[in-house]
Amino acid sequence: MQGSFSISARPHILLIDPDPVIRSTFGDALRELGYTVTTASHPAKPGTGPTPDLLVIDATLATPSPIPTLLLTQTTTQTQPPHSLTKPFRLPALVTAITHRLAQTQDTRRMDRQERPGALPLDPARG
């Protein structure tokens, strides 16, 4: 199913970074770990290519996206954006961040499909 994943599926990561070393090194390493990876130096127009499960993008290139995102930032600040990883980083930190973000996305989708705990069904006859 496009745009979602399960434990048995190979999540599709779109890695966008202007640095060719980051794209090559981490793209290859993530492929070896079983991810499907597409790399680019800049964002493409929406609708070109398959929808990834996760967008891993340099924060300087990021724009609002409906795709779950992991930002790659240059510096740590007191107001570090959620779902971000500070450069430089090592592969284990990237894999942990990706795994965590994909799990959050999967949990959110699961909650959206289920009735939320404690919610009372509405009775249209009672208004």
Ranges of each domain in the chain? 12-112
For 22-63, write each residue's pLDDT tens digit: 999 999 999 999 999 999 999 876 666 788 999 999 999 998
Note the pLDDT tens digit of each residue in 68-108: 999 999 876 666 677 899 999 999 999 999 999 999 887 66
CB 39 within 8 A of CB 23: yes
Identify the architecture of domain 12-112 in CATH. Answer: 3-Layer(aba) Sandwich (3.40)
Could you tell me the pTM of the whole model? 0.74
DSSP-based three-state secondary structure for 37: strand
Burial of 117: CB neighbours in 10 Å, binned 0-12, 13-18, 19+? exposed
Using CA atoms, how far apart are residues 11 and 37, in angstroms rounded to an integer? 8
